[in-house]
Structure 1
């Protein structure tokens, strides 16, 4: 749902809710951070107490969240509804794959999991197109209401046709989940609110200190705990460390792109939400093609070389994106976007395999959960970082300089080309910053990625 929300941001920004630039960031990131931190414990709870039951609970929560989002009379209620929707989405996402794995035989599972993966990717593309059409012709509120109706239909189908599966007695680290949510949300608050409240504001500083302290406590608390949400001792394994950090920074770059690209297309290029959604469809299609070939490429040139190539292409793509202007033709933009799709398609599957392959067979579940967690955390940090850079740079050129009310989008929709140019300049700075971060971190990822497998020591 994040991709659809990115398309709706320009419309929400000029709505009767009058959101500030930072509140717009929370509309997207609030959902993402809850989804990220609850994905693993949601799956564990479903395994222990009943997958079908928790899938139905997740769908119900999702429906309520979408209805509340579509009917929200204030920006504060919209933000609360988005957090609530992220809770439901975490249960839905984690339980669907678990049910599919459990109702198929060992021989059927590869095909079933592949089908699930293709369905998720296809749903994302359909949602981007349909969501753009809904935003354009029905408004952003209609988008949420239609998604609620679709989720109600899914709930009825699950209740009628999905079988119950055998429960598993697993331990659930709810306290760890709470610590991660508090710690990461505190850090995101510092990143997002710093440009508006001031980086030396007591609230911002206190939030950052609390976030670091809570995450540090979680790291110590979870060290060597096999049933922790995230066993921090696993990071002693170099290849696993490379995989987790690589996945996180790769998706940080991609979700920073996703967040701002739809705004660029609508604010700078003048595209409608529907056209903006259609304009990005070649990217996931090409990503699917490259991802499918990444293992064969790795067989020829090696996994490390393939990952290095993918990360290098991502850095190149960000460097090229940082040269965008309002006059850049779509034919040029799509080449840059396809480069990004190539980079993540080459590197992400191998980095994910490095995480899971670094662990013994009895800890594959932990590896899968860690991969999902790092992907979603990267998404949350990427959105927050890109949004903060853009608004800080943009408002540094505006008299008064504070990103309050909806002046951000109103200036851009006023037809003032100077404001549009300043926005694009801010976007370019964001791409350059993310590119430098990716370049530096990639050096460590490649250095950590080794051919030996120390899983036995885990």
Structure 2
């Protein structure tokens, strides 16, 4: 087994840390939502907006960020994103009322959009084949572990300090990443690629309008012009975005990428799987506090088995997928997660974590460990290195949009209230989405050969 060079190890460390802050901040907020509601006010709609304000800008701008990464250099874009993310995190922590908090979360998401495509593009530019699969496995273990560990860290900060400190967790990894970036010596010259800013506007405004309609619909109803007008406008703008991608000389989301079989089918699987993960993370984090009566720390600890399994198994799963192909792992993993979601149906009014939640967390962790690294390798390995930044951005945008839409539809899924019946409804929907991801993977994913990149000069 080929060992990573010193430069490749540095690239992996930077990629992990840069992505860590965005993944962490996407999930750390879930256990803080009840505390935010208690201090600043607002019901489930405000809680949805605190999550989705971040996801809207992250999802809508991540495509633009991928294009910027390819055009102006991955290291430069990453450095800008890290500094902006740190400033926005301080603004979130200092927010005096819900509107300011939501606006600051949106800015934070915009900064986060600059980080993920650049980090994965660094891996794609310096590694290929089995080595790349192993590197993506390491990246996956820690970044997905950050998603799962977020509720635990958030819970500790909420219980021991304040929910405001939850958003300052990023300061240390941001500082370390900036230091490591200064040590990285890779060619990172601008390529002179034109950036399609209008496509970025169409995508951002279209997604924002559509999500506004989905979140506010339970309050105002579909018959209200305040709902159906932005809904129609959002759909129209997003269709306009797709049409522009076909005709633009420099599209943010080149539709030609989807001619690669694994890229197209892998992104469809991503849509189902990440919608399920976002729904499950939100519902479990909030219900265990508001429904089961656990503290924020205990609610965060509930998902710790998933984190441990991800760290232990993801890198190995990535290596196996590099040798055997990703199809089997991308099929079995989501189906296992569907079983884990169904195990949450055992949660009852007389709550018992050890028998009702822990088995589900273990099965979910096993399935997630088998899925994420092979999925990332299948999608990005299907695209040549020159377009790795935009390919990474497309895949990450799809995963974020999936989470964005499912959280926006939360009130509809749970029947308006996150009580026990609503929790069970969310478990059924989660299982169905996971199963769909496994079936799509079995139908569409194939083993492909990787081309070795030229060594960096």
TM-score for both structures, normalised by structure 1: 0.80
Residue in 2 aligned with 1:70? 93
Q: Distance in 2 between matches of 1:116 and 1:357?
A: 15
The reply to whether residue 449 of structure 1 matches residue 445 of structure 2 is: yes
Structure 2 partner of 1:432: 428
Partner of 1:322: 345
What residue ranges of structure 1 are gaps of 5+ in the alignment?
Answer: 395-421
Q: Which has the higher contact order (CA 8 A, sep 6+)?
A: 2
| Pairing of 1:379-390 with structure 2 (within 5 A) | 379-390=403-414
Report whether the alignment pairs 1:179 with 2:175: no
Distance 2:320 2:296 in 1: 36
1:27 equivalenced with 2:23 (yes/no): no
Following superposition, the deviation at residue 20 of structure 1 comes to 2.8
| Contact 2:62 2:396 (8 Å CA) reproduced | yes
CA contact (8 A) 1:247 1:375 kept: yes
Bigger-Rg structure (1/2): 1
1:129-149 Cα shifts (integer Å, max 9, x gaps): 4332211122112333x3365
Which aligned pairs between 1:2-21 and structure 2 lie closer than 5 A? 2-15=26-39, 17-21=40-44
- Relative distance call for 1:280 and 1:294 in structure 2 (3 A) is same
Q: Does the aligned pair in 1 maintain the 2:92–2:101 contact within 8 Å?
A: yes
For the pair 1:349 / 2:373, whether they are aligned, the reply is yes
Counterpart check, 1:134 vs 2:157: yes
Q: 1:336 to 1:194 in 2, by over 3 A?
A: same
Cα distance change of structure 1 residues 326 and 225 upon mapping to structure 2, 3 Å threshold: farther
Give the CA deviation at 1:2: 1.7
Partner of 1:250: 273
Q: Distance in 2 between matches of 1:238 and 1:135?
A: 45
Structure 1 equivalent of residue 105 of structure 2: 82
In structure 2, runs of 5+ residues without a counterpart are 1-24, 452-457
Q: Verify: 1:36 aligned to 2:59, yes or no.
A: yes
Cα drift, residue 298 of structure 1: 5.6
Matched, 1:168 2:190: yes
**Further displaced range: 132-141 or 57-66:** 57-66
Q: Using the alignment, how far apart are the partners of 1:339 and 1:238 within structure 2?
A: 29
Q: Which whole-Å CA distance do the structure 1 matches of 2:373 and 2:128 have between them? A: 22
Q: Provide the aligned length of Structure 1 versus Structure 2.
A: 423
CA distance in 2, matches of 1:59, 1:178: 22
> How far, CA to CA, are the matches of 1:300 and 1:39 in structure 2?
31
Q: Which residue of 2 aligns with 1:45?
A: 68
Deviations 1:287-344 (A, max 9, x none): 3444334357668987434433223222222222234223242123121122222223
CA distance in 2, matches of 1:98, 1:365: 5
Q: Deviations over 1:358-390 (max 9, x none)?
A: 445554444333222222222222322335423
Change (3 A) 1:165 1:273: farther
Aligned CA distance change for structure 1 residues 288 and 171 (closer, same or farther; 3 Å): farther
By how many angstroms is 1:55 displaced? 3.5
Moved more, 263-272 or 78-87: 263-272
Cα pair 1:247 1:371 within 8 Å, conserved: yes
Residue of structure 2 equivalent to 1:376: 400
Q: Distance in 2 between matches of 1:152 and 1:237?
A: 35
TM-score of the superposition, structure 2-length normalised?
0.80
Secondary structure, counterpart of 1:331 in structure 2: helix
